[in-house]
Structure 1
Amino acid sequence: MPETAKVDIAEANKGAGKVRVAFDEAALAGWMAANVEGFAGPLTVDQFNGGQSNPTYRLSTPGQRYVLRRKPPGQLVKGAHDVLREARVQQGLAGSAVPVARIFAVCEDEGVIGSPFYVMDMVEGRIIWDAAFTEVPKAERAAYFDEMNRVIAALHSVDHVAAGLGDYGKPGNYFARQIGRWSRQYLEDELAGRLPDMDALVEWLPTAIPEGDETTIVHGDFRCDNMIFHPTEPRVLAVLDWELSTLGHPLADFAYHAMMYRMPADIVAGLGGADPVPLGLPTEAEYIAAYCARTGRDGIPNWDFYLAFNFFRLAAIFHGIKGRVERGTATNAQARERAQALPRIVALAREAMEKCR
């Protein structure tokens, strides 16, 4: 999954350390003095342990802390590591009901530190890594879920054209394009092998796309651990990790988020099918109803199609990771674990497909 600049107060110091991807810090300080409102050095730079996809740094001054996200230096695959795109969507959402970090400045000039970058506010708060919110008192957990629900509903209610994001992706036919893309990736990676259930999904999904089309801004990876919460309140201060954001279908985005109810906790933050009520959490049906109330929907027909699509998409991603493991080109330490989890993700996709049928 995409790396982010996720930081909480407790982790801020131990999560950042020696700069591994170095650059001219004096040049950055000079650029910030000219382009970042209120900047005053001296500047200290540390690199976060995460952010392997896009190197991410903590910038500290006597009066302010910032986060810098940059493209990796060197030759890159076209369209990859587009940090300026991340900055653009957060700038477009500034002032909306969707909490995002303030973007102070964007630099497209590779001559400053060797690649394009942007500087944003370092939001102080906490990350909830466990979808059951076990570190939160039971009586407060439902409020945290309601806040996540509010934020994703607010995102899908933003007028993307008015926000200057009318060309942020291709409008319309989202499911057909996505199913085609991930089916091709799955079918072309012969070394990773074929799975009968994936073959069945490749055949069935294009025939089951619900009628009606919608286009909104979608986050693409909306999970509890991609948000910074207030240190003590059930309030999201900033949504992070906009690497997969685009224009797409809101129900695809919401269903990806709601997969937490069925997602095994050891794969991606999820409840693994556990009964949410004893945990102090809303049921899946209650969570869907809250989203529908906020977005003016009268329920979500074909709900299991949206789940099947998202589990299929995730399975295709994990299938690609398995292929890289088999070829010996996987660099992430979790790659083998992801590859081993593939059968369980495919089984969840098949289960949703059968319910939809």
Structure 2
Amino acid sequence: MSVDARTYDPQVVDFRAVTAWMDDQGLGGGPVEHVTPISGGTQNVLLRFERGGRPYVLRRGPRHLRPRSNDTLRREMRVLAALAGTGVPHPRLIAACDDPGVLDGAVFYLMEPVDGFNITVDLPSQYVSDQAWRHRMGLKAADVLAALGAVDHQAVGLAGLGRPEGFLERQVPRWLAELESCGGGAELPGVERVANWLERNRPAVWTPGVMHGDYHLANVLFAYDGPRIAAVVDWEMCTIGDPLLDLGWLLATWPDPEDSAPVLLDLPDGLPSPGEITARYAARSSRDLSAIAWYTVLACFKLGIVLEGTHARALVGKAPKNVGERLHAVAVGLFARAGRHITRS
């Protein structure tokens, strides 16, 4: 539903301040029209609007900014600017405001709207009726991930975005500490076994590259006119690390016919198998996938702990009880999946 910019809550987005800043940037003219909130899986504010006949999407941190909200948005601004011309589909950055004084303490940026849909929310009729289209959706997800892993982070200006030195060595201790800090773990069977296996089998050699950090099918928008990815979204976790962890993350959230545990994402039938996803990535990447089971186990371990954190907050009334219980069941399933990968390896 469109909202009149004159009545939109100025404590969230003061459009008088935005239009003054846009005037300084030479972006459009006249009033802001057709303000439409965009829903998504993030607490950040996302608004579509028009000005001077051109559509824009504005993204800023949540209404009540957290200590690192602006740093997160600045990271996204930097990543989106760097990805221009790389061939990795992403929302095109129009302009960024990293001055928190413009919008009452919040930095923000403007990007072009993406004509696409989220597979976990909607599935257009052509995709419903054509299994081949759904199969190709999965293959395209692997293609784009391989393309991201091939980006030269230094050449595009992302050197210093993360700390690749010791990246894999930090993972298990960092996430065990996270689990301990939230008071979880007692109800997650297999934590110690998985952690010990990861430490014993860590790859000795790997090549740093750009990682999305949360790559799964809820964070890609597919095109309406055919099975291709219109844009990868939510780059707030992007870093320079080991891109094969992105592939492991995709596989950890992928439907598995051997797995009857509750899943994080509600995905349609007809997608490629996990083996097909791995083979597709391998065909389009020069990276060594001989240790892909290790990366998938690490992704299950890390994601399970992230979800258990929400469960821990729910137990003390800081998150909805039903959400916490559902995510706990998913976390238990992720550790069971990790255990099966370990057994097979």
If the TM-score is normalised by the length of the shorter chain, which range does it land in? 0.7 to 0.9
- Are the counterparts in 1 of residues 194 and 339 from structure 2 also a CA contact under 8 Å? yes
After superposition, the C-alpha distances for 1:307-345 in whole angstroms (9 at most, x for unaligned) are: 111111111111211111112122697344213433222
Give the number of aligned pairs: 336
2:190 match: secondary structure:
helix
Give the TM-score, by structure 1 length: 0.83
- What residue is the counterpart of 1:185 in the other structure? 178
C-alpha separation in 2, matches of 1:95 and 1:80: 26
Look up the equivalent residue of 1:234 and give its one-letter code.
P
C-alpha separation in 1, matches of 2:128 and 2:203: 39
C-alpha separation in 2, matches of 1:152 and 1:52: 21
- What residue is the counterpart of 1:306 in the other structure? 295
**Alpha-carbon shift at residue 209 of structure 1 (Å):** 0.4
Structure 1 residues 336 and 41 mapped into 2: Cα distance closer, same or farther (>3 Å)? farther
- Are the counterparts in 2 of residues 311 and 348 from structure 1 also a CA contact under 8 Å? yes
The answer to whether 1:127 aligns with 2:118 is yes
- What residue is the counterpart of 2:58 in the other structure? 68
C-alpha separation in 1, matches of 2:31 and 2:321: 35
Look up the equivalent residue of 1:150 and give its one-letter code.
D
C-alpha separation in 2, matches of 1:112 and 1:294: 44
- What residue is the counterpart of 1:10 in the other structure? none
Give the TM-score, by structure 2 length: 0.86
The unaligned stretches of length 5 or more in structure 1 are 1-12
The answer to whether 1:58 aligns with 2:54 is no
- What residue is the counterpart of 1:99 in the other structure? 89
Alpha carbon RMSD of aligned pairs, Å?
3.0
The answer to whether 1:237 aligns with 2:230 is yes
C-alpha separation in 2, matches of 1:355 and 1:83: 41
Structure 1 residues 112 and 130 mapped into 2: Cα distance closer, same or farther (>3 Å)? closer
Look up the equivalent residue of 1:135 and give its one-letter code.
V
Structure 1 residues 191 and 292 mapped into 2: Cα distance closer, same or farther (>3 Å)? closer
The answer to whether 1:268 aligns with 2:264 is yes
- Are the counterparts in 2 of residues 54 and 83 from structure 1 also a CA contact under 8 Å? no
- Give aligned-pair identity as a percent: 29
1:69 match: secondary structure:
strand
- What residue is the counterpart of 2:209 in the other structure? 216
- What residue is the counterpart of 1:116 in the other structure? 107
Structure 1 residues 149 and 191 mapped into 2: Cα distance closer, same or farther (>3 Å)? closer
Superposition pairs of residues 248-263 of structure 1, within 5 angstroms:
248-259=241-252, 260-262=254-256
The unaligned stretches of length 5 or more in structure 2 are none
C-alpha separation in 2, matches of 1:289 and 1:174: 25
**Alpha-carbon shift at residue 155 of structure 1 (Å):** 0.4
After superposition, the C-alpha distances for 1:272-320 in whole angstroms (9 at most, x for unaligned) are: 9xxx7xx3x433323212211211246x223321111111111111121
- Are the counterparts in 2 of residues 227 and 239 from structure 1 also a CA contact under 8 Å? yes
Structure 1 residues 226 and 127 mapped into 2: Cα distance closer, same or farther (>3 Å)? same
- What residue is the counterpart of 2:76 in the other structure? 86
The answer to whether 1:322 aligns with 2:311 is yes
The answer to whether 1:153 aligns with 2:143 is no
